[in-house]
């Protein structure tokens, strides 16, 4: 009896033996390639913008010699490829350079600001994710009836309102007229946990209202798609209650698309906090980036852009991996 011939393509044999691991590694490599491409776009796009930091910093009355001296000090006269390779190599090691405007370490400033942004986004996610899934299941249970219609109308209205408008409305009513909320500009590291939660009530409410409707509608659509399956009709014919069939059978089988929308929403919560942080003057990454853009502080803008892109790509990769794990057809492709 002869041994089977070895595979000509080692990668094919690995994929056949470890299909799940191969899919995960593939997503990971694609994410790294995408992040590398995004870093090129960020660095090259900022370099292509008209004007520079030296002119903005010195003002309109700056002499050409003064502008040239600052450009020389910052290394802006070197080739763009050299500066990009040096910047990316340092960024991989966690060194984003020094801010041109404040002369502070960008990494240290980002460490403080990123913690504030993650605290805000994380607290909003803790509220919005279970609430959205619960409302989606409730909407399916009462589909085409009054509760379902009310939830759909409210969700459509919430989706239609931009973040800054929702934020200003909350400030107007809860901070100005009623005075029941603390303006979050007073959020500092010296605050205790409970005090920080009170201070971020308004921006958290804004983020929850913005992302809740989208997650709820996607959850509803995913569960309704599963409810039309033959085995769900069989479960109902056997006398299983509608709510129990949704919770026990429909929701677990709709887990993959629900995980996808939750992961994308979490990515939006981290990346999309820019507008909310500016509205509430919240000391996070978004506010830090906007302040740097106004003075063309490129090391800060590049660092914030790369971190936002890395978070978004990582959460998308996580969503793909969790969807693979939750779906037997993707775990064992034919």
CB 327 within 8 A of CB 14: no
pLDDT (tens digit, 9 = 90+) per residue, 136-145? 888 888 888 8
pLDDT at 36: 95
How far is the C-alpha of 98 from the C-alpha of 94, rounded, in Å?
A: 12
Question: Rounded mean pLDDT of 299-326?
Answer: 86
CATH code of the domain in which 250 resides = 1.10.3720.10
Spatial CA neighbour of 232 closest among 218, 216, 251: 251
Residue found by looking up tokens 């929403």 in the block: 265
Question: Rounded mean pLDDT of 12-32?
Answer: 78
* DSSP letter assigned to residue 175: I
pLDDT at 89: 92
50 assigned to some structural domain: no
* pLDDT above 90 (res 319): no
178 assigned to some structural domain: yes
pLDDT (tens digit, 9 = 90+) per residue, 210-242? 888 888 888 888 878 777 776 666 766 666 666
pLDDT at 325: 77
pLDDT at 2: 47
pLDDT (tens digit, 9 = 90+) per residue, 41-64? 999 888 887 766 677 666 666 677
| Token pair belonging to 19 | 């299909």
pLDDT at 5: 45
| Token pair belonging to 172 | 């107007």
32 assigned to some structural domain: no
How far is the C-alpha of 49 from the C-alpha of 99, rounded, in Å?
A: 18
pLDDT (tens digit, 9 = 90+) per residue, 173-209? 887 887 776 655 555 666 777 778 888 888 888 898 8
Average pLDDT, the chain: 80
pLDDT at 7: 43
115 assigned to some structural domain: yes
Question: Rounded mean pLDDT of 281-293?
Answer: 86
Count the domains in the chain.
Answer: 1
Structural domain including 131 reads: 106-331
How far is the C-alpha of 258 from the C-alpha of 266, rounded, in Å?
A: 12
pLDDT (tens digit, 9 = 90+) per residue, 78-134? 888 999 999 999 999 989 988 888 888 899 888 888 888 888 888 888 998 889 888
pLDDT at 59: 65
pLDDT (tens digit, 9 = 90+) per residue, 231-283? 666 766 666 666 677 776 676 777 777 777 888 888 888 777 888 888 888 88
CA distances (Å), origin 36, targets 46, 47, 214: 16, 17, 30
pLDDT confidence band for 39 (50 / 70 / 90): very high
38 assigned to some structural domain: no
196 assigned to some structural domain: yes
pLDDT (tens digit, 9 = 90+) per residue, 148-168? 888 888 888 887 888 888 888
pLDDT confidence band for 323 (50 / 70 / 90): confident
């Amino acid at each position: 009896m002869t041994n089977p011939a070895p595979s000509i393509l080692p990668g094919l044999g690995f994929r056949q033996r470890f299909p799940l691991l191969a899919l995960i590694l593939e997503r990971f490599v694609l994410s790294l390639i995408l992040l590398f491409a995004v870093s090129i776009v960020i660095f090259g796009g900022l370099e292509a913008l008209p004007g520079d930091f030296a002119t903005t910093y010195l003002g309109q009355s700056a002499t050409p010699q003064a502008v040239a001296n600052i450009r020389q000090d910052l290394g802006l006269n070197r080739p763009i490829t050299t500066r990009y390779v040096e910047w990316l190599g340092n960024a991989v090691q966690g060194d984003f350079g020094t801010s041109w405007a404040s002369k502070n370490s960008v990494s240290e400033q980002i460490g403080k600001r990123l913690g504030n942004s993650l605290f805000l986004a994380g607290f909003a996610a803790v509220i919005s994710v279970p609430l959205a899934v619960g409302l989606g299941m409730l909407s399916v249970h009462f589909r085409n009836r009054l509760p379902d219609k009310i939830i759909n109308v409210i969700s459509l209205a919430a989706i239609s309102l931009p973040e800054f408008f929702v934020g200003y409305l909350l400030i107007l009513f809860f901070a100005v007229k009623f005075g029941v909320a603390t303006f979050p500009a007073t959020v500092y590291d010296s605050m205790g946990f409970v005090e920080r939660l009170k201070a971020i009530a308004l921006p958290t409410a804004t983020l929850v209202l913005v992302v809740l409707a989208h997650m709820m509608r996607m959850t509803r659509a995913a569960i309704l798609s599963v409810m039309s399956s033959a085995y769900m009709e069989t479960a109902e014919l056997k006398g299983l209650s509608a709510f129990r069939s949704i919770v026990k059978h429909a929701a677990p089988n709709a887990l993959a698309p629900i995980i996808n929308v939750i992961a994308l929403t979490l990515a939006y919560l981290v990346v999309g906090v820019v507008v909310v942080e500016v509205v509430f003057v919240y000391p996070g990454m978004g506010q830090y980036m906007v302040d740097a853009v106004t003075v063309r502080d490129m090391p800060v803008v590049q660092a914030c852009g790369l971190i936002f892109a890395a978070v978004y790509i990582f959460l998308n990769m996580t969503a793909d991996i969790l969807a693979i794990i939750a779906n037997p057809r993707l775990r064992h492709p034919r």
